[in-house]
Amino acid sequence: MIKKVIILIVLFGFTTICFSDESFTKYKELSQLMREDLVLLDKNKCDIKYDSETSDAPFGYTLDCTNRKNFITKNKNLYFELINKYDDFIKTYKDSIWEDDAYFCIVLFNLTLSIPVNNFGPIAWDELDHFFKKFGKIKIENWTKEKFRDLGSFRYFFNSNAWGQNPPKGIDKLLLNEDYMSLLILSEFNLLMLYDRKEEASDILQRRRDKINDITTEIIKTRLKNHTLDH
């Protein structure tokens, strides 16, 4: 009887290890595809144009995102296909340590695609809403951080320097504590403000009260008061 129990334990452990290795291999493949897409997106940045005589923008600078919008529109089917592959991964490897990382990638990818303002915006905040309902807290693995820290919306989560010379008060503490749930809430707020959905943005303090921390609360209150964004 004891031998049977030992054999079952060994077999279970072996199966778990194999399943873990398999999920990581698949996750790495998907992440490489996403990284390649993000690199191309970074090469199609918005153009800063200067025209002091005709521009109504402060200091005469305007942001022209035509090329980036066109690039995103041209490749949107490929992006949807990649996101669907991540969804399939999550369904196949439920409860894997890579499950929340995979979903995190979907959310951050959609956030990257949604700026400049386009039809990926509604998709991004829908994904964020689903994410908050699904996860009470998240742990992002170091492998994911190293893979994406320099690209798209990911850089704001993994690199405090990306917030610029005047980061919002408390953001360094958020990054230091790796409070990614609060950073995601901050991104959701930013996105709604960017799309001029201020009522929904201000409602975040109420809707996310179970997940929002004091630092993020103060950042959002300050931005609502000043109607400003940091990026």
Number of structural domains in the chain: 1
Within-domain flag for 85:
yes
pLDDT of residue 63: 78
Model pLDDT, residue 15: 42
Residue 53 lies in a domain: no
Q: What pLDDT is attached to residue 20? A: 60
Burial class (CB within 10 angstroms; exposed 0-12, middle 13-18, buried 19+) of 163: middle
- The string of DSSP codes covering 24-55 is HHHHHHHHHHHHHHHHHHHHSPPEEEE-TTT-
pLDDT of 95: 87
pLDDT of 197: 93
Per-residue confidence (pLDDT) for residue 166, from 0 to 100: 77
In a domain, 65, yes or no: no
Those residues of the chain that have pLDDT short of 50 are 4-19, 231
The pLDDT tens digits for 128-146 are 999 999 998 888 999 999 9
- pLDDT at position 14 is 41
Does a structural domain hold residue 220? yes
Q: How far is the CA of 202 from the CAs of 114, 186, 205, 224, 226, in angstroms?
A: 20, 11, 6, 7, 12
Helix (H) or strand (E) holding 118: none
pLDDT of residue 155: 93
Q: What range does the domain containing 99 cover?
A: 29-44+76-226
pLDDT of 107 reads 96
Confidence (pLDDT) at 7:
45
**Which residue is listed with tokens 């400049």?**
116
Could you identify the residue written with the tokens 């290890």?
Answer: 17
In a domain, residue 103? The reply is yes
Establish if 161 belongs to a structural domain.
yes
Predicted local distance difference test score (pLDDT) of residue 164: 78
